[in-house]
Amino acid sequence: HTRLRTVTGVQTCALPISLAYTPGAPVLSNITYNAMTLVVNPSGNSGITQFAIQSVSDSGTGYVQANGTIGGSPVWRTFSEWGDNSGVALNGLYNCTFYTFHVKARNSGNVETSYGADASDTTSCLSFANSSMIAGWNLISVPITVADLQRIAVFPTSSSNAFAYEDRKSTRLNS
Q: Does residue 143 contact residue 126 with C-beta atoms inside 8 Å?
A: yes
- The pLDDT of residue 119: 98
> How long a stretch of residues is the chain?
175
- The pLDDT of residue 1: 46
Look at residues 57, 59, 64 and name the one whose alpha carbon lies nearest to residue 26. Answer: 64
Look at residues 121, 122, 95 and name the one whose alpha carbon lies nearest to residue 33. Answer: 95
Q: How far apart are CA 102 and CA 86, in angstroms?
A: 17
Q: What average pLDDT does range 119-148 have in this prediction? A: 69
pLDDT exceeds 60 at position 4:
no
- The pLDDT of residue 53: 98
pLDDT tens digits for range 91-126: 999 988 999 999 999 999 999 999 999 999 999 886
Q: H or E segment at 13?
A: strand 11-14
pLDDT tens digits for range 51-105: 999 999 998 999 999 999 999 999 999 999 999 999 999 999 998 899 999 999 9
